[in-house]
Amino acid sequence: MAHNYNPARRLFELLTSAVAMNSNQTTQVWDATLAAEGSPTVLLQRFVALDRLYRETVAALEKVEGLDRDLYVGQIGGVENILQISTLLRSWEDVKKGLSPTTMLALRFCASYLDEKVGEAELERAQLDDLRRELEELVTSLLESGIDARLKELLVTLASEMRTAILEYRISGAAALEKALEIGVGAFVLNRNLIQEHTDLPEVNRFGMILERMKGLLDVAQTARQLAEPIIKMLMGG
């Protein structure tokens, strides 16, 4: 059965991954779960984002008319406790006690309950991973190229932002991808003359195809904006 990618489901999947980690260092568990790639700064940012996801889950539940708050929200309070910054200094064996089987089951029920209420279509991880690899290859190609320095910096920055958005998808859902797409479109509007001077470059064309693929994913999640259409056509030589 296809699930709605609502905040409770994203939270449940992330915490399930964390509980299954074979490590007793809390920072290592969250680094792997949140794809922080060994960066303490990124880890802290995504840990804070995870706490926001918990609060988003509670807010989504509380908006449902007639909800039995004690039956749903009241049963997942342990999650809030393990998302305190101070828990990063404790052992994971101690921290994950807050994610008891009862708490995780209650969170799973919350996710199922919200399937009918809020959320977005879940994107296929294989497609996201493929797009991430494409962005990584593009950045490598750009760094090795001899194209205009201003254009290189612009494309590398935007491709890196899009890659980050993909890594944050499990926390923020399609909103992270949409934000990256909007930033990309805005940057191209501001640098329209520079782009138009180099639309024949393979790197520009490749970036246009990546933008088109990201917009296609957002169409699936039903969040894409029409704003991207003219920019993509320009990059594709249309």
Q: Is residue 2 part of a domain?
A: no
What are the tens digits of pLDDT across the range 71-105? Answer: 778 889 889 999 999 999 999 999 999 999 999 99
Q: What is the pLDDT of residue 116?
A: 78
pTM of the model: 0.84
185 and 86 in a common domain: no
pLDDT of residue 228: 47
Say if residue 91 is in the same domain as residue 36. Answer: yes
Nearest partner of 86 among 136, 94, 175, judged by Cα: 94
- In this structure, the answer to whether residues 14 and 102 fall within a common structural domain is yes
Which residues does 211 contact at the CB level (< 8 Å), separation at least 6? Answer: 181, 184, 185, 228, 231, 232, 235
The yes-or-no verdict on residue 233 having pLDDT over 80 is no
- Residue that terminates a domain, selected from 79, 114, 149: 114
User: Where on the phi/psi map is residue 214: left (φ > 0), alpha (ψ -120 to 50), or beta?
Assistant: alpha
Could you tell me where the DSSP H helices lie in the chain? Answer: 7-19, 26-33, 40-62, 77-82, 92-95, 101-114, 125-144, 149-167, 169-172, 174-190, 192-196, 202-221, 228-235
d(CA 190, CA 213) in angstroms, rounded, equals 22
CA distance 12 to 104: 7
Which residue range forms the structural domain that includes residue 92?
7-114
* Domain end marker among 90, 114, 138: 114
Confidence of residue 223 (pLDDT cuts 50, 70, 90): low
Same domain (yes/no): 231, 129: yes
Is residue 107 located within the same domain as residue 135? no
Calculate mean pLDDT across residues 145-167.
95
Q: How far apart are the first and last CA of the chain?
A: 40
Domain membership flag for residue 120 = no
Strand, coil or helix: what is 67? coil
Range from 11-15, 93-97, 188-192, 227-231 carrying the lowest mean pLDDT: 227-231
In a domain, 211, yes or no: yes
| Cβ contact 129:94 at 8 Å | no
Task: Determine the 3-state secondary structure of 121 from DSSP.
Answer: strand
CA distance 153 to 143: 9
Q: Which two tokens stand for residue 122?
A: 């879940």
Token pair recorded at residue 27: 């920072």
Q: Is residue 52 part of a domain?
A: yes
Q: What does the pLDDT read at residue 156? A: 96
* Residue 134 belongs to some domain of the structure: yes
How many domains is the chain built from?
2
Residue 119 resides in a domain: no
CA distance 83 to 93: 15
